[in-house]
Amino acid sequence: MLRAAYARTPFDGEGSYRYGGRWSSLGTRLAYASEHQSLAMLEYFVHLDPDDPPDDLVLATADVPESVSRERVKANELPAHWRETPAPPDIAKIGDDFVKRAESCVLLVPSALAVNENNWLINPRHPEFQQIVLHPREPLRYDPRMLGSRRGRKH
127-153: burial string, b at 16+ Cβ within 10 Å, e else: ebbeebeeeeeeebeeeeeebeeeeee
The amino acid at 102: A
What are all long-range contacts of 82-87, with beta carbons under 8 Å and residues at least 24 apart?
Answer: 82/112, 83/112, 83/115, 85/112, 87/21, 87/22, 87/23, 87/112
What does the H/E/C string look like for 14-33?
Answer: HHHHHHCECCECCCCCCEEE
Positive or negative, the Cα torsion across 51, 11, 118, 79?
A: negative
In this predicted structure, the answer to whether residue 27 has a pLDDT above a threshold of 90 is yes
50 against 108, higher pLDDT: 108
Alpha-carbon gap, residue 101 to 98, rounded angstroms: 5
CA 143 to chain centre: 21
Predicted pLDDT at 43: 93
The pLDDT of residue 77: 97
Instruction: Check residue 5 and give its pLDDT.
Output: 87
Give the pLDDT band of residue 106 (cuts 50, 70, 90). very high
Please compute, for residue 45, the number of CA atoms within 13 A of its CA located in the half-sphere on the CB side. Answer: 19
110 upstream amide cis, omega within 30 of 0: no
Residue 33 reports pLDDT greater than 80: yes
* Cα 98 from Cα 30, distance rounded (Å): 10
**How does pLDDT run across 46-100, given as a tens digit for each residue?**
888 878 888 899 999 999 999 999 999 999 999 999 999 999 999 999 999 999 9
